[in-house]
Structure 1
Amino acid sequence: MATPNVPKFTTVIIGLAEKHEDEDLRVLVLETLARLVPLYPTLHRSLYAALSTLSLRFLSGSSPAPTSAALLQAASHLYTSLHCTGGKVGAANLWRKSTEETVAFGWNAFLALRSTFETESLLSMLLNHSAFDHVA
């Protein structure tokens, strides 16, 4: 593949992954992109936002049915290769930023789950029904 055609090819296959519902095609596209980005990092620098959005779309999951393991793995491979687009100097910053965003996402998910647990009602239930009530 000639170097000037790499960004065009990437743009076309991003569109394929977004428009088509076929899981095998999406996995193929994500795996292809995960291999192309480290090979041509500077050519993909301008496509960083589109590539990040594509990978996060599949990493965030879907509501009617869970995302398949193959699709999650392919999306995670793409997401972990995106730091290469930062070059020698910016790659570390992109890696740190994506790691911090991932940890923040995990904390937000944990806090959302934790906030649905009503501690006050549980505490009052425990106080009203102590363990000694059941001892005869």
Structure 2
Amino acid sequence: MINVAPAIAEAVEAVRAHFAGHSVVVETDGAGGVIVTIDEVIIGPAYTSQSTWLGFQISAAYPDADIYPHYCGVLSRTDGQAHGPAIQHVQWRDRPALQISRRSNHRDPRVDSAALKAERIRRWLADQ
């Protein structure tokens, strides 16, 4: 594990545990936090590809800072509809991506972990 604050290291291990069986790549962000990318996250039949990568930053302010925004590979909806306003086409870490803007305004840092937020984003995508 890379050298980061204990809360961030624990968050990364929780993400690895929650997404067991998936490749989880962790890189330092140069500011005390990390960038996490999870491969082959299942999002279901709403999209032409039923899995994608999911990426996000855990900032040095964690657990007091929300994990926001999240990014995933470029997806097309199977129903042909456009993405809603919470999804935008962007470049993230030098690759085309969708930015998923789902802020947790009433989050509780004692409960709302990086792993839980990633799972919420995955479920939200699957429900679109």
Q: TM-score when scaled to structure 1? A: 0.24
The structure with the larger Rg is: 1
- Structure having the higher strand fraction is 2
Q: TM-score when scaled to structure 2? A: 0.25
- Structure having the higher helix fraction is 1
